[in-house]
Structure 1
Amino acid sequence: MARIAVLVFPGSNCDHDAYHAAKHVFGQDARFVWHKEDSVGDADLVIVPGGFSYGDYLRSGAIARFSPVMNDVVRHANEGGLVMGVCNGFQVLCEAGLLPGALLRNVSLRFVCRDAHLRVENAETPFTNAAASGDVLTIPVAHGDGNYTADEATLDALEANGRVVFRYVSASGEVTPEANPNGSARNIAGIINEGGNVLGMMPHPERCVEELLGHEGADGAVLFRSALAHLGEPAEAVAP
């Protein structure tokens, strides 16, 4: 059974979704870790969830990055432990220096909340091994600051080294401006670090892990099945 730590900051609002997916859908040993704690314990996977940590004051993720628990998240990541940052969690990981680039305001200057189509660009990561490169997943987005940006050299390096994990595409898998919900550079929806053990993504896989949500409602389960398979754990959902 995998040990999964779900961080909780003031303003987190997807922590319970992540906990539900890990604990109740996949039957793993999940626990909440409050931002003032100084350790993630013996976690196999740390989830930095979405929401509005510290009200998104200054800029998204900028204050959460200095929470006591983040020192141990950095240690955990540097020692090869799995870390998944979703939405605000992606922003926190960029602020903490675990991932390159930054998340800016959506080009529309409006909050966007809808399903997005993501093409799996690299299926050889701990978070995508249950998929195939080129697969198109339908996963919801809900953010106001999801516009991923980095300098051209960084973007080129991400592309060259297979570190772009997900890209916004049309339902048929085509990269188009219309498929991009926030203006992210090169339609990037998710990236990994150099070691491949830290993932940041704007869409919310934890919100779509159960078939009862309807057609393609469980596409987010791919990430959880992948991480559990990487950890050598049974990867099938246990919830009806």
Structure 2
Amino acid sequence: MVTINMKQTIKKQLQETGQYMMQYDLAWGNSGNISARTEDNSFLITASGTYLGDLDLEDFVEYSLETNKCMTSGRKPSKEIPMHQAIYETRPEIGAVLHSSPLYSTLVASSNLDIPSALFVEGMYYLERIERVAYAHPGSINLGELVRDKAKKANILLLENHGVLVYDTSIKEAKMALQTLEMACKMLLISRKANVTLQELPDNVVQGFLHESGYKPRRRWES
């Protein structure tokens, strides 16, 4: 059972995550929303209208997956709750979900470009599986269901003409994945402008890294 003190710790971690995302240009303005699982069937999410760079401990709403209702009175959750709910219901091992619109990642999400995943070590791990989600209006049930359909196929979703959705086992891992994604997209777009050809590592090297290097345990993906 998660105690009140543990929930306060999670809130502080999310608060720090919002600041981190702003500091490293992983979010801007009042766009973006973040969440973390508290129990098997509940999670904390930023309240509607909050600014990720200046979150208070009262700027979070707890939401129940069992009742589909808020467990916190006085604040509305982010309208993007259908996406977060879809991830937590589909992927029980997921501990945190980050949604934002970083410049380079959103440029790629608004294009038909493929993101190279075999340029550097972090990319090979965090960007192993990326899926695109067709545009649907932010906050809509339709968008939530589109995310649900792709949730088991990747830990990074490009929301077309919208932004990105990154989720992982912990807040720390999700932050690393988000920053890795933005770096890869930045490299891709800058290289195209500079007419630099990026050289990805061959597949046998990538597979050797993923399965034999001992860097991290492999994820299990739905085929």
Query: TM-score by structure 2 length?
Result: 0.32
Specify which structure has the higher proportion of helix.
2
